[in-house]
């Protein structure tokens, strides 16, 4: 099949992936493999900008890649690699930084937010975060970048830097990437309020056992107005119901909605059914994951092969970039 172009996405090594990662990013990564040449990168250098525990990087990388592979990322066709294994990205980062107005970086809402969250560590790397991201995208000649809506300003920034670079060297050396936002709505955590995230501890990991999943799902907050078993629920405001849409067969979802509204179905049973749906959906994933994990060397072999293939693209781009700006 003729693929359309190259997709690139980066994700920080956050360890075991949760349902928010799965529905918001991983499923999309998997689907894009049908139409595009895909490059998926674990951005360990980006992670360093806000990391306190350097010792976690290796294990978090391996756990994340295990989840990706078990979920259906196919490393025979897709390049899966670790950002720092191809150091050309740091060279391009330096070069692109000369094409980046400083004020633009410090004005970005993402920078301001991070500076607010890490007031004790507003480092130089944090300011340059979007430049390094631009270098990722540009180095691998990416046409399309699938990201969440929170990355929109970074993508727009990357497009501007690429434009400015191409304009200054008088040649379309780098590709202006298209953004592809995921259409899945924001996945809320077990608190039913905030986006699912590991740091908020409101997440449900894909690789939990079936029993652990039940326990975790039972902690989910449902419609806050449903303070008693006999009070009818409002599925439209209930995060449990939202997840039923994804994990429970469509025919049953209608019935759950009706029975929630009439209070025939209580939240406890509703959650039990959700856990069952999640477990059924993820059973093949968990089986594949266990098989892959039985050989701890496997993910590192995949990543080493990915880095070799990524380096080939990177070398080619850097040759063109160096020539375009006349580096001797």
Contact indicator for 303, 82 with CB cutoff of 8 Å? yes
Q: HSE on the CB side for 174, CA within 13 Å?
A: 32
Contact indicator for 42, 11 with CB cutoff of 8 Å? yes
Query: H or E segment at 6?
Result: strand 6-11
Residue placing its CB nearer to ligand TRP in the complex, 158 or 282: 158
Residue placing its CB nearer to ligand TRP in the complex, 11 or 220: 11
Contact indicator for 47, 41 with CB cutoff of 8 Å? no
Report the distance separating Cα 152 and Cα 147, nearest Å.
8
- For the beta carbon of residue 110, count every other beta carbon within 10 angstroms: 17
Report the distance separating Cα 251 and Cα 253, nearest Å.
5
Strands (E), 121-186: 144-147, 178-181
What's the closest the beta carbon of residue 46 comes to ligand TRP, in angstroms? 5
What's the closest the beta carbon of residue 33 comes to ligand TRP, in angstroms? 16
Residue placing its CB nearer to ligand TRP in the complex, 38 or 204: 38
What's the closest the beta carbon of residue 8 comes to ligand TRP, in angstroms? 6
3-state secondary structure of 98: coil
Residues contributing to the site for ligand TRP (CB under 6 A): 8-10, 12, 43, 46, 133, 136-137, 145, 147, 151, 154
What's the closest the beta carbon of residue 98 comes to ligand TRP, in angstroms? 20
What's the closest the beta carbon of residue 147 comes to ligand TRP, in angstroms? 5
Residue placing its CB nearer to ligand TRP in the complex, 126 or 253: 126
Residue placing its CB nearer to ligand TRP in the complex, 133 or 243: 133
Pairing mode of beta strands 37-42, 79-82 = parallel
First to last CA, the chain: 41
Residue placing its CB nearer to ligand TRP in the complex, 83 or 248: 83
What's the closest the beta carbon of residue 113 comes to ligand TRP, in angstroms? 11
């Amino acid at each position: 099949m003729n693929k359309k172009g190259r997709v690139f996405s980066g994700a920080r090594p956050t360890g075991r992936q949760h349902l928010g990662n799965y529905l918001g990013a991983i499923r999309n990564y998997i689907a894009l493999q049908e139409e595009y040449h895909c490059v998926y990168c674990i951005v360990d250098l980006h992670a360093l900008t806000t990391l306190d525990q350097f010792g976690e990087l290796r294990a978090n990388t391996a756990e994340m890649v295990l989840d990706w592979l078990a979920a259906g990322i196919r490393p025979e066709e897709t390049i899966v690699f670790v950002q720092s294994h191809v150091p050309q990205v740091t060279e391009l980062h330096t070069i692109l930084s000369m094409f980046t107005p400083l004020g633009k970086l410090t004005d970005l809402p993402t920078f301001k937010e991070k500076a607010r969250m890490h007031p004790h560590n507003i480092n130089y790397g944090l300011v340059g975060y979007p430049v390094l991201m631009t270098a990722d995208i540009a180095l691998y000649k990416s046409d399309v970048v699938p990201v969440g809506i929170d990355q929109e300003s970074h993508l727009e920034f990357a497009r501007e830097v690429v434009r400015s670079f191409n304009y200054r060297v008088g040649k379309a050396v780098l590709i202006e990437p298209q953004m592809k936002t995921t259409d899945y709505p924001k996945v809320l955590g077990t608190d039913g309020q905030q986006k699912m995230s590991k740091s908020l501890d409101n997440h449900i990991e894909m690789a939990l056992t079936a029993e652990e999943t039940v326990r975790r799902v039972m902690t989910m907050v449902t419609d806050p107005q449903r303070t008693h078993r006999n009070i009818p629920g409002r599925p439209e405001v209930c995060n449990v119901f939202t997840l039923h849409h994804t994990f429970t067969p469509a025919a049953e979802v209608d019935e759950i909605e009706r029975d929630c509204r009439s209070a025939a179905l209580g939240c406890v049973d509703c959650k039990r059914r959700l856990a069952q749906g999640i477990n059924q959906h993820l059973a093949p994933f968990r089986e594949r994951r266990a098989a892959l994990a039985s050989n701890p060397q496997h993910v590192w072999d995949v990543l080493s092969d990915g880095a070799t293939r990524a380096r080939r693209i990177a070398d080619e781009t850097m040759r063109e970039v160096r020539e375009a700006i006349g580096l001797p």
